[in-house]
A and B are shown apart, each in its own frame.
Chain A
Amino acid sequence: MTSIGTGYDLSNSVFSPDGRNFQVEYAVKAVENGGTAIGIRCKDGVVLALEKLVASKLVKPGANKRIATVDRNMGVVSAGLLPDGRHFVARARDEAASWRRLYKAPIPTAALADRMGSYVQAHTLYSSVRPFGVTAILAGWDSEAEVPVDGQVGYGPASGAGGKKEGATHGGPFLYMIEPSGMYWGYYGAATGKGRQAAKSELEKLNLAAGNLTLEQGVKEAARIIYVAHEDSKDKEFELEMTWVSSLKGPTKGRHEEVPREVREEAEKWAKKSLESNGEEDEEDEEDKMEE
């Protein structure tokens, strides 16, 4: 890197003459070494998936979950430094709880993304702190039903002033990705970590903007994409961790939960099969070329 030795990377919050903040860029490097994490926004829910690299054979399989629940309807997965991810989650939980204390209702996903974006950005401003070594993906389902006030005991007026508005629509699936710079955007499909390039190109093929993908398909695709993203570091073992949040009518009833084992295993089986058949096609292509 050309920046080394110039001195502009020694303190946080210092710009280089060409307008870069090197500490933030180094934090991004830390993220690029982490296991791949992705999120897919489907029409009736959101899936989060993580390639959890097995650090040691002495660690219990399936333990040490990395995808965290923030509020009932929201989850966070991050790639990069694990302790930074933990702190990010702790802060997100605090924000969600304080929103509830103040407004007596769950925090909208967009509002949490905004607050966490501000928090992460604040860590680029002071020399006493370092930026977050994580890129976090935030998934949530904002209730499509009229949100009751926490502690509400009655129904309120049935008509007249204070009555309910007919036909109002609320909520839906939301997906945000927050980077070490504090920048956050809403996504149809988000990917970060080591295998993000492969994952991104797979996500683009899904045509998520059309909004046709169902949550069930999304789970399968998420498993497949993690397997595709893992191709480059095949020598290392990994566990697939997946969570989802669906509509109130869906399998999780608006809550963020771990994907049930049977569903996950079926998705993994499908992912491996589609990967194998893809591999065969590639081989056939090569054979064709040989013949030519």
Chain B
Amino acid sequence: MNHFPEAWGRPRDDVYGAYNGAHLASGMPNQHTQSPIVTGTSVVGIKFKDGVVIAADNLASYGSLARFTDVKRLHRFNSKSVLGFGGDVSDMQYLDRLLTSLDIRENYHSADDAALSAKNLHTYLSKVMYKRRSDFNPLWNHILVAGLDTEEKPFLASVDLLGTTFSSPSLATGYGAHLAQPIMRKLVPDEEAAARLGKEEAIQAIKDCMKVLFYRDARSMDRYSIAVITKEGVDLNEDVKLENQSWAFADRIRGYGTQVN
């Protein structure tokens, strides 16, 4: 026996050779998510005087393949908040289950449907996302949280895969950040403008954004979900068709899609 405790009770290395630990290793190093697999594209949201409008299309892409065409990327959490998920769909499903268990736990002690406000929910999600990025194992999503805060005021904020949080009268993820944000910012440059904006104008702005995104984003589709969150509750429609499309601007583009020539 020597004075190294890790050797006690083991066959002696000088007699039997060094211990072969091959069977203990899994053979592969630990792997973390390096890139998303099945993805959803932009989510857009805008505040108005009584609440928030949020929308995302119903497509889940596998690379450039339009793989699933009936995917609901808006999740109603309670009567005060809706989440919109961009990015990896399986991570979205994981978060959905996580939030389901959170909701069940929060409702053990009261039947109050909206014990957690949208603001509470956004704080919680930001901690989850930041924890995961700090483990070098991020949940590959960019999430918009839309709803009402604790004072029943319109609330819209985002959290991304790094745990970065951001809030603004209008928000968009993915391609929408480039294509939809300018349209919405023209309408609501600041909080004062959002506090004056009517519901119908807000819905129309979101619909315009979804149309522009369908025109220019190759990972988008023309069916989408839209939710309006006000004090009256959540009005969620999960199968809206894009209206009044006009492809006149593209009539000279040749060589794509189903056109012949």
Contacts and interface: CB of A to CB of B under 8 A. Distances in A.
The 8 closest A-B pairs by CB, nearest first: A151-B93, A257-B111, A151-B96, A154-B70, A153-B71, A151-B97, A150-B97, A154-B71
Nearest to B68: A154
B101 A153 contact: no
Contacts of A69: 107-108, 111
B89 interface: yes
A166 B71 CA distance: 23
Q: Output the residue of A69, A153, A257 with the most chain B CB within 10 A.
A: A153
Given A153-B89, A255-B111, 6 more contacts: A96-B104, A97-B104, A100-B100, A150-B100, A153-B71, A153-B73
B97 to A, nearest CB: 5
Given A68-B108, A153-B73, A97 B101 contact: yes
B21 to A, nearest CB: 32
B97 A153 contact: no
10 contacts: A96-B104, A97-B101, A101-B101, A150-B100, A151-B94, A151-B96, A152-B93, A153-B71, A154-B68, A155-B70
A96 B100 CA distance: 13
B96 A154 contact: no
Given A72-B104, A153-B60, A258-B111, A104 B97 contact: yes
Interface residues of B, number: 19
Looking at chain A, what size class is its interface with the partner chain? 20 to 34
Interface in A40-56: none
Contacts of B96: 150-151, 153
Contacts of B111: 69, 255, 257-258
Interface in B103-118: 104, 107-109, 111
Contacts of A151: 93-94, 96-97, 100
A72 B100 CA distance: 10
Nearest to B73: A153
Contact of A100 (B93, B94, B101, B107): B101
